[in-house]
Structure 1
Amino acid sequence: MDRNLALELVRVTETAALACGRYMGRGDKNAADQAAVDGMRKAFSSVSIKGTVVIGEGELDEAPMLYIGEEVGMCKEDDREVDIAVDPLEGTSLIAKGLPNAIAVIAMAPKGGLLHAPDTYMKKIAVGPKAKGVIHIDDPVEKNLKAVSRAINKDLEDMTVIIQDRPRHYDLIREVRRVGCRIKLFSDGDVATAIATCFENTGIDVFMGIGGAPEGVIAAAAIKSMGGEMQGKLNPMSDEEMERCIKLGLDQESVYKVLTLDDLIKSDDVFFVATGVSDGDLLKGVTYLEGNKAKTQSVVMRSKTGTIRFVDAIHRLNKNEILKETMEKHNQGGIING
């Protein structure tokens, strides 16, 4: 894929973040999500790709979300065909409550390069580069944690495991406590938390738990770019979720197969791009400045080169035509200009 696409994708996530950033703490997660979707969709229209959304926010009949199967990009005859995974606002509840770690995020690979994950739950485990090759999702918690401890040269008591604060994880939390590791709980947003394992300055050593399968694929794109490891196993929790798996052509055996990083991300050339919406462990959120300006921080990664770039940008909101159009659409009741 053309390396220049990296900056084009950053513009897409920046637009989504700026479009929804002013909803922070306003208690309306649906309006924030819709603003992010509208901004992302509009920004994609200027990118020279022939993209298909393989992981999005819903099916065709649930538009105006970025639905699975939707075509994005300029879609010119000579544009490269790519698969796109999107979460225009990962952490809708976070932004509605004014909490950290909300991001706008995209993963992109050549056509066929991303697992077409059903909208169901997935059991996941993720670690950074130093612990690559020592974990297995079917191993007991204690065995995995001891293996990681040896690999990263940390005592168990000094390791930090990040787990989503949900009743389904109470047994997992008890087991990690029994082993003696520190635990950091999070409420929402498991893309940002999973990839935190690959950045030493976050202090996160292991990600464990059950979360969204689509989010698992998006996180895997970043983890592959950074040389870490992630494994997953689909974990449908209802008949409806099992039906979604069957609709994708998965039989009983395939549903519960261990998914390695290369199963989740089949291509060696994948982009991962995220822009902070609210401040988090990885990225600063949108900051609004005087003179109708705003500041964003983004990260862009490419697995083929292993390059990780952080992009700080200042935006003149009244000069960005795509953003102006999106913000005007959502400027009902004084949401945008106060």
Structure 2
Amino acid sequence: MDRNLPVNLGRVTEAASLASAKFLGQGDKNKADGAAVDAMRRMFDTLNIDGTVVIGEGEMDEAPMLYIGENIGRAIGSGLAIDIAVDPLDGTLSVANGLPNAISVVGVAPKGCLLHAPDTYMEKIAVGPKAKGSVDIHKSVKENIENVAKALHKDVDDITVVVLDRPRHDKLIKEIREAGARIKMISDGDVLGAISTCFDYTNVDILMGIGGAPEGVISAVALKCLGGEQQGILKPVTEEQKRRCIEMGADLEKVYTIDDMAKGNEMSFAATGVSYGELLQGVKYMENNTASTHTLILRLETGTIRFIESIHKLDKKPEYAK
């Protein structure tokens, strides 16, 4: 895969973040998301790729752009053929309410290598590289926490589990507390929660709980680049979702491993902070019509992990950054 592609993906997520951060705390998640989608789509049009969206904003009749199956890039039919998984704004409610940890994310792999996940829920467990091989989604919460503690050479009461703050997780939260571990609740965006398990300074050891299946695929790209582990089981909650899963060839009994969700040894990932977080700083608008961004860029082939801090002169940017 083109070695310049990861950095160009960073430009894509920067554009989405610059556009959506304008709506921080303004109470309108749809405007924030729409701005991110539009900016991301415009930037993709500048890349010399033949891309197909496999994880996006929904089906063609649900989204005007970045919909599943859409071909994007300036070299359709002739350029590098890749699968693209996007979430222009992971954490729409966080942006609307002025809360931390919203990001813009993109993951790519050669065509046919990313799971076409249905838009339904997925039960997930994820850990970083130091705890790889220590979790099993079929084991109890207590067993998984104890095994991760052993792998990380920590006491159980020093283990931190990140969980989406949702009523469906009441039982999970109770079991984590009974096991003796710490809990970090997040209001939105479990992609960042999964990635955070790979960086010691975030003080997150495990992600547990039920989130979106599409987000699970995006997380898998990042975790694979970072050497982490993720397992997932699809959890449709309506008959329509079950039907959609079956139509897409999904197995409702299968434990999807990271290699099921992101196949092969060529993939790249980029994430840019929108609102402030422990892993990535948010967009900062500064004097003289400038703004700063903080971006994580990953490339599996070389194992490179880049953090890029950029200063943008917005009066010299195209419309997507204004």
TM-score normalised by the chain length of structure 1: 0.93
Question: Which one of 261, 264, 282 corresponds to residue 264 of structure 1?
Answer: 261
Q: Give 1:239-258 correspondences, 5 Å limit.
A: 239-250=239-250, 254-258=251-255
2:272 corresponding residue in structure 1: 275
Q: Is the 8 A contact 1:43 1:322 kept in 2?
A: no
2: CA distance between counterparts of 1:78 and 1:244?
Answer: 32
SS in 2 for 1:184: strand
Matches within 5 A, 1:1-338: 1-250=1-250, 254-323=251-320, 327=322
The 2-side partners of 1:138 and 1:5 are apart by: 37
Instruction: Give the distance between the partners of 2:172 and 2:297, measured in 1 at CA.
Output: 32
Question: 1:146 Cα deviation (Å)?
Answer: 1.0
Distance across 1 between alignment mates of 2:234 and 2:5: 31
Describe the SS at the equivalent of 2:115: coil
SS of equivalent to 1:93? helix
Check whether the contact 2:51–2:76 (CA below 8 A) recurs between aligned residues.
Answer: no
Deviations 1:98-146 (A, max 9, x none): 1001111000000011111000000000011111111111111111111
Q: 2:38·2:320 contact (CA, 8 Å) conserved in 1?
A: no
Q: Shift in Å at residue 323 of structure 1? A: 2.4
The code of the aligned residue for 1:144 comes to: N
Does the aligned pair in 2 maintain the 1:58–1:65 contact within 8 Å? no
**Pairwise CA distance, 1:76:** 4.4
Identical positions, percent: 57
Q: Counterpart of 1:212 in structure 2: which amino acid?
A: G
- 4+ residue runs of structure 1 moved beyond 6 angstroms? none
What root-mean-square deviation, in Å, do the aligned CA atoms of Structure 1 and Structure 2 show? 1.0
Q: Deviations over 1:291-315 (max 9, x none)?
A: 1111001000011211110011111
Distance 1:83 1:217 in 2: 12
CA distance in 2, matches of 1:187, 1:314: 29
- 1:241 Cα deviation (Å)? 1.3
Unaligned runs of 5+ residues in structure 1 are 328-338
